[in-house]
Structure formats: structure tokens, C-alpha cells
Structure 1
Amino acid sequence: MRYSRYLQLFSLTFGEKLANFLALFPIMYLSGGTCVALIIIGGSTSKLFFQIVCGATCSVKTLTTVEWYLVFTCAAVLLSQLPNLNSIAGVSLIGAITAIGYCTLIWVVSVAKGRLPGVSYDPVRANTEIGRVFGVLNALGIIAFAFRGHNLILEIQATMPSSEKHPSHVPMWRGVKFSYFLIAMCLFPLAIGGYWAYGHMIPPNGGMLTALYAFHSRDVSQAVLGLASLLVIVNAMSSFQIYGMPMFDYMESKYTTRMNRPCTWWLRSIFRAMFGYGCFFVAVAIPFLGSLAGLIGGIALPVTLAYPCFMWLKIKKPKMYGAMWFLNWGLGLLGMSLSGILIAAGVYVVIDTGITVSFFKPN
């Protein structure tokens, strides 16, 4: 067996029981939680897209937010019937193109229209010193939540041909460097240009797309606003397949291992439909998931910043007290410590600022 999946590698290193206890939940969160967030984003943006296309004078009764979530979920479940990561290479390419498209479109239009009147850049100050510190740490947790899905690097690498002469990690490393360069070219201009244009007036829910629609719905072409929304919807649909695939693979491999028989196409369809509609239920039940982003980001941080270091030590067995031994122990312990600090900061911010708990009441 080629141990190139995250859970397989973790089980090989530390045993199946420890893998189920330490790694399974964060990976389930990274895959399932991301799909929940994508349903919220895709459903909400679909509602916005309908409003833009229909126009201000449209008398057609629109669907509710929950119904738009369901429409998006049905389309995502239908597309998720593609069997594996190899088969969704085209879907992934479409997702990348649409991501570049909507990020560029939003920040270019926002900067071109200039700063809003009365925009403020004053730092948000907490009442106490500890509040300021925990606020910064909670922001780091939100950043960690934004970079969810790190375990997918191993999943994608597992689909690539690999041999002793041509190991898959070589082209994978090139792809990672190029992809993160593109991500930087999308997100840094979006963050900098958006903050310059809107400052503290950026809506807390919806971000830059909502700000573009809220502040420029009258002085920007409806075609431009509709195109930005459509690109976000297509990107969310494509991303759902990529982030959901590790969970699909896990469910199907568990069935094959325990039943000692291949997973039929109709059973695979049932598994994936159960996962998709399970994510839909969570999206409807917990629409305030974004308010817990800092806390949840801290919980999943060890998957990226700590576990790989300990796995490398266990597998490679470097010379004790050597440079690589100290480096990996130091980075692993630092990742675990940072995770604990971010969890504490997330809990403090939630208690201090409070969250609007609205079970089964999405906006």
C-alpha cells in the first residue's frame, strides 16, 4: 500500500487509535466544515445573484435563504458523483480560474471607484490590554481558518504517479509554490485594496462582495456585479468537490476495508449524498459558524503546524540532538503551543464580545 493519504500516514506512524483520536476530527472538520462554509457562501451568493439579475423592479418572489442553500447543495451533490480527484481535474481548473476572476474583479472595481466618504482606518481598540492581545491572537485563528484544507496537499499528491526515480513530491512542490503565488496575487490586492476603499465599513457578513454590492449597486454595471457573484458561485461549487473528496475517500475506504468488497456506484452515490445533505443541515442549523472561525481555526492548527513535524521525526528518525531533530521538535511544540493559545483567545473573544446565536435562522 502506498501510504500517501494523511490519515493513512498518521495511522502508520502513531497507530490507528491515536490517529482516530488526534487526526480524524480535525480532518473531518477541515473537509466537512469547509463544505458547510461553502454552502453558506454559495447559497447566499446565489440569492444575491438572483436579486441582481431580477432587478429592483422585479415582482418575482425569491426563494428563502434556506431554499437557496438547498439549491446549491443539490447541484454540489450532483457534481460530487465524479469518482475521485483525478476525475475532477477540470472542475479544479475551473475553480482556480473563477477564483482569480472574482478576486481581481472585486478589488479592481473597488479601487477604481475610490474611497468612500468618511472612511475610517482607526485601529479597533479593546477595553483592556488582555482584550487587545487576545483579539490579535483570535485574528490569527481566523487566518488559520481561512487557510483550511491543508491536508488536501497529501490527498492530491496521492493521485500523481510516483516512483523512486520520479517521486510525486517533486512536481507537487512546484505546483504548491506556483499555486500559492497565484493565491497571494489574488488575496493581497483584495485585502489591501478593499481596506483602502472601505476601511471599517466592510460588512461583517459577506465581506468584499457584499461591500461591492452595498456601496456600488447604483454606480457599477449590473452585469459586472452579476458576473462577480456568478464567479463566486462557480468557485464555491468547484471547491466543494475538492474539499469533500477526502471525506468521500474515507467513507468508501472504510466500507471496503470492513466489508471486504468494492464500493458499488449506487452506494458511493448514497454516501456522497448523505455527506452533502449533512453539511446542508449543519449550514442551516449553525449559520453563525463564521463567528467561531478563530476558535475552530485554533483547534485544527496542529494538522498543519505540529503533526507533520512529529510524523517526520517518527518516520525519518534523525540523529538525536542533531539540527533536524531540534528543528522538528521545536516547530512541533511551537505549533501545539500556538494552537492552545489560539483556542484560549477564541474562547475569550466569544465570551467577551458574545455571538448572535440563531439556530436554524440563516440570514
Structure 2
Amino acid sequence: MPSSEKKPSRVPMWRGVQVAYFIVALCMFPLAIAGYWAYGNKIPENGGMLPAIYAFHGRDTSRAILALISLLIIINTLSSFQIYGMPMFDDMESKITKRMKKPCPWWLRVILRVMFGYGCFFVAVAIPFLGSFAGLIGGIAVPVTFAYPCLMWIRIKKPKKYSLMWWLNWALGISGIMLTILLVAAGVYVVLDTGIEVSFFKPH
């Protein structure tokens, strides 16, 4: 996107990000709320909402509707993978660009993305019980979203001490750290309480 001092590209890009996240919120939050309202704790342990739909509505719902639901979930998964994998793609491409000292060709970008996808698939098949650690891993990763940005903002922007933004960011940062501790403790408890069935290359 072209950028200049009069018309910096960050303005329309920021608007695009806001609109994109607003659309994502419109899609995800109603689905999560309606799904929990419909099934609650009836969702199977080894699976999500899709197995619940087949378990509770497989007999009284047409195959076309079930196929459409599955197709939409596949599209959503593939799209989400591209979004969450973008930082890794960018990192790989930037390293190759620095090493080759020229732009990364399109065919090499395709190969890198396909190989990364196969790598993720291999890990999922090789370690199928990795989902049991989801809560623990998620708890460890919480500071990246809730704590570090606030503390980094204070370090970079250096707001006036004891000002509203200073207190707000410190409160959010400390809350994120406390939430991390609670989630990690809960994740460890769940792992110890439920146990883990270790089975390499044997997905259920």
C-alpha cells in the first residue's frame, strides 16, 4: 500500500484491521454463545462442537446440512491457519530474502508454506495427545496477549507516572500475569487429575 507523509498507509490499514476484527467478532462470539447455550457441558471431551452436532442431530438432520456445516468448518480452519501461520511465513521469507539478497520468488513461498503445513500436520499425528496440554500451553502464552503489550507500552511511551494511562496499563499487565498464574495452575491440575494417554502416531 503506498504511503506518504500526507497520506500514511497506517491509517487505512488500521481501519482495515478494525473492520476485520469486528467481522470476526460478529462471526465467532454468536457461534460460541449459541453453541454453549445449546450444548453446554454435553460437548464430547475428544472433540468440539462438530462431534456434538453429529452426536445429537445426526439422525434428525439432513446429510446436506451436515455436509455444509463440515465444509464451512474446513474453510474456517484453513483460513485461520493462514492467519495464525502468517508470522511464521513472514519470518521464513524474510530470512531467505536476507540470505539471497533478493525478493523471495512465489514458488519458493508456496513450498515454504506447504512444508510448514505438513510439519504442523506431522506434529498433530505424531503427538495426538498434545491437546491435553492445551490449557497449560494456553496459560503460558497468555502474557504475550494480556501482559507484555501493556508493560511494553509503558516502557516505550513512558507515560506520566501515576497518570490514568500509567495506572491502567500497570493494572492490565498485572492482571494478565495473575491470570497466567491461575491458568497455568488450572492446566497443571487438569493434567494431573485427568491424566494423559500417551500414544505416539495413534490419533483417536
Could you say which residue in structure 1 is the equivalent of 2:70?
229
Please state if 1:310 is matched with 2:169.
Answer: no
Which of 131, 142, 148 aligns to 1:290? It is 131
How big is each residue's C-alpha offset from its partner over 1:146-170, in whole Å with a ceiling of 9 and x where there is no partner?
xxxxxxxxxxxxxx55555545554
| Paired AA for residue 337 in structure 1 | M
Partner of 1:99: none
Answering whether residue 191 of structure 2 is matched by residue 341 of structure 1, we say no
Match of 1:252 in 2: 93
Report the RMSD for the aligned CA atoms in angstroms. 2.6
2:79 aligned to which of 228, 238, 247: 238
Q: Using the TM superposition, give the Cα deviation of residue 283 of structure 1 relative to its aligned residue in structure 2, in angstroms.
A: 0.9
Distance 1:164 1:352, change over 3 A: farther
Matches within 5 A, 1:171-250: 171=12, 174-250=15-91
Q: Which deviates the most, 188-197 or 277-286?
A: 188-197
Q: Report the counterpart of residue 78 of structure 1 in structure 2.
A: none
Q: Post-superposition shift, 1:200?
A: 3.1
Give 1:263 shift: 2.7
Residue equivalent to 1:263 = 104
Mapped to 1, the partners of 2:91 and 2:23 lie a distance apart of 30
Question: Which runs of no fewer than 5 residues in structure 2 stay unpaired?
Answer: none
Q: Distance in 1 between matches of 2:83 and 2:95?
A: 19
Q: 1:336 deviation in Å?
A: 2.4
Relative distance call for 1:185 and 1:269 in structure 2 (3 A) is closer
Structure 2 distance, partners of 1:254, 1:185, is: 36
Matched position secondary structure for 2:199: coil
- Could you tell me how far apart the structure 2 residues matched to 1:262 and 1:177 are? 30
Distance 1:336 1:169, change over 3 A: farther
Gap change, CA 1:352 and 1:162, over 3 Å in 2? farther
Q: CA deviation at 1:272?
A: 2.3
TM normalised by structure 1 equals: 0.50
Q: Residue 162 and residue 279 in structure 1: after superposition, are their counterparts in 2 closer, same or farther (change >3 A)?
A: same
Pair 307,166 (structure 1): closer, same or farther in 2 beyond 3 Å: farther
State the one-letter code of the partner of 2:169: N
Distance 1:269 1:207, change over 3 A: closer
Higher relative contact order, chain-length normalized (CA < 8 Å, sep 6+)? 1
Deviation sequence 1:69-106 (CA, Å, 0-9, x none):
xxxxxxxxxxxxxxxxxxxxxxxxxxxxxxxxxxxxxx
3-state DSSP of counterpart to 2:201: coil
Residue 177 of structure 1 deviates from its aligned partner by: 4.8
Return closer, same or farther for 1:197/1:338 CA change in 2, 3 Å cut-off: closer
In structure 2, relative to structure 1, the CA distance for the partners of 1:320 and 1:199 (3 Å cut) is closer
- The count of aligned residue pairs is 204
The letter of the residue matching 1:230 is: L
- What is the match of residue 116 of structure 2? 275
Tell me the TM-score normalised to structure 2 length.
Answer: 0.83
Give 1:107-122 correspondences, 5 Å limit.
none
Question: Which letter maps to 2:171?
Answer: G
Partner Cα separation in structure 2 for residue 291 and residue 164 of structure 1: 50
How far did 1:235 drift? 1.8
- Percent sequence identity over matched residues? 73
Counterpart CA distance in 1 for 2:184 and 2:151 is 21
Distance 1:286 1:304, change over 3 A: same
Q: Report how far residue 224 of structure 1 moved.
A: 0.6
AA in 2 matched with 1:253: S
Q: 1:166 to 1:259 in 2, by over 3 A?
A: same
The alpha-carbon distance between structure 1 residues 285 and 165, as it changes in their structure 2 partners (threshold 3 A), is same
Do residues 350 (structure 1) and 191 (structure 2) align? yes
The verdict on how the C-alpha distance between 1:166 and 1:331 changes in structure 2, with shifts beyond 3 A counting, is: farther
